[in-house]
Amino acid sequence: MLKITGLDKLQKELKQAEQALNELDGELGVVNFDPHEPVSIEAAIQSVNRMIDNRVEPYVDNPIVESLAEQMKERYRENILQKAAEARLQSDED
């Protein structure tokens, strides 16, 4: 007979992941930055990271939530860097 263990833990983690996703749904907040100032860009990235961390704080020990949060942070980081680069290109053209 095959015995499967750990399903309760997995179900709990999945339920927490669903709750965390609900917390992250919608607008996280607003960040502003100077696209010509690397320090300003980095501050905006760190601000978004803190927003995400604050939303998922109740689920900090959940590996599924941790992975989702890290993926979101990376996507927002890439988005901020892309917007900064586009703004620099636009100002160079003007």
Q: What is the pLDDT of residues 68-88, one digit of tens each?
A: 999 999 999 999 999 999 999
**What integer pLDDT is reported at residue 28 of this predicted model?**
84
pLDDT one-digit tens code per residue, 5-32:
667 888 888 888 888 888 888 888 899 9
pLDDT digits (tens, 9 = 90+) for 44-77: 999 999 999 999 999 889 999 999 999 999 999 9
Question: Angle at which helices 63-93 and 7-24 pack, to 10 degrees?
Answer: 30
Question: In this predicted structure, what is the pLDDT of residue 1?
Answer: 66
**Burial group, residue 55, by CB count within 10 angstroms (0-12, 13-18, 19+):** buried
Residue 49 lies in a domain: yes
Task: Provide the number of structural domains found in the chain.
Answer: 1
Please give the Cα distance from 53 to 49 (Å, whole number). 6
Residue 59 inside a domain? The answer is: yes
| Domain-embedded: residue 1 | no
